């Protein structure tokens, strides 16, 4: 493995991979944009001494082993939590997670990752109840609270699904108001 790597070359390899997989130019553009967003977040966490006043928080050259040693399921969970905490729309979060799945698969095929993290990257659920903005806001706040408490994703999804199922049952079978 190369000790130092230029980000532009790194991105170019991923672009070539996507092109070979026959993705459309628009999809490739979106994948690369989402990858840049993740890398910006990553380097702001793991390289906090980089001067952001120089126009970019990403280092021009970086140790590829440093990067892939820190690209873990936990790192990706932290990134997902960061997106949720900053109230990024669900569709955007899931698109960015899709990019990470594709990038991790590419990196695994290149031999840069020792394991394929693809199966460990789960989308988030959209807990919107059409027409009930207050309920949707309450569930969104609760979801954010659970993520901030570092509750396992599967438990959060299960809990929110149970609440959603109960509320759907209650709203469909009982009065059309929620007693809280």
Residue range 128-141: mean pLDDT, rounded = 67
Same domain, 27 and 106: yes
pLDDT at 27: 93
Residue 134 shares a structural domain with residue 71: no
Residue 98 shares a structural domain with residue 136: no
Q: Please tell me the pTM assigned to this model.
A: 0.65
User: Do 62 and 77 fall within a single domain?
Assistant: yes
Same domain, 66 and 142: no
Mean pLDDT of 93-110: 93
The pLDDT of 124-143, averaged and rounded, is: 68
Percent of the chain with pLDDT over 70: 75
pLDDT tens for 44-86 read 887 765 554 554 555 555 677 778 888 888 899 889 888 888 8
SS (H, E, C) the chain: CCCEEEHHHHHHHHHHHHHHCCCCHHHHHHHHHHHHHHHHHHHHHHCCCCCHHHCCCCCCEEEHHHHHHHCCHHHHHHHHHHHHHCCCCHHHHHHHHHHHHHHHHHHHHHCCCCCCHHHHCCCCCCCCCCCCHHHHHHHHHHHHHHHHCCCCHHHHHHHHHHHHHHHHHHHHHCCCCCCC
Provide the pLDDT for residue 5.
54
pLDDT band at 172 (very low <50, low <70, confident <90, very high): low
User: Given this model, what pLDDT does residue 154 score?
Assistant: 77
Same domain membership, residue 94 and residue 13 = yes
- Are 39 and 111 contained in the same domain? yes
Q: Which of 119, 136, 156 is the last residue of a domain?
A: 119
- Which of 119, 146, 161 is the C-terminal boundary of a domain? 119
What does the pLDDT average to over 83-96? 88
Q: Are 2 and 50 in the same domain?
A: yes
State which residues form the domain around 133. Answer: 125-180
Residues 14 and 79 in one domain: yes
Domain count of the fold of the chain: 2
Identify whether residues 145 and 114 lie together within a single domain.
Answer: no
Give me the CATH number covering residue 75: 1.10.150
């Amino acid at each position: 493995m190369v000790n130092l790597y230029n980000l532009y070359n790194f991105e170019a390899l991923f672009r070539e991979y996507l092109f070979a997989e026959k993705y459309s130019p628009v999809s490739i553009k979106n994948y690369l944009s989402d990858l840049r967003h993740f890398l910006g977040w990553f380097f702001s966490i793991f390289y906090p001494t980089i001067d952001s006043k120089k126009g970019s928080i990403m280092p021009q050259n970086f140790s590829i082993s440093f990067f892939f040693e820190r690209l873990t399921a936990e790192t990706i969970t932290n990134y997902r939590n960061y997106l949720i905490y900053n109230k990024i729309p669900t569709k955007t979060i899931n698109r960015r997670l899709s990019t990470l799945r594709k990038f991790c698969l590419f990196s695994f095929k290149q031999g840069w990752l020792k394991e394929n993290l693809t199966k460990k990257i789960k989308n988030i659920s959209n807990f919107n109840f059409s027409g009930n903005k207050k309920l949707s806001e309450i569930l969104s706040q609760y979801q954010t609270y659970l993520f901030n408490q570092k509750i396992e994703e599967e438990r959060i999804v299960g809990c929110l699904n149970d609440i959603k199922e109960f509320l759907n049952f209650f709203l469909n079978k009982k009065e059309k108001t929620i007693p809280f």
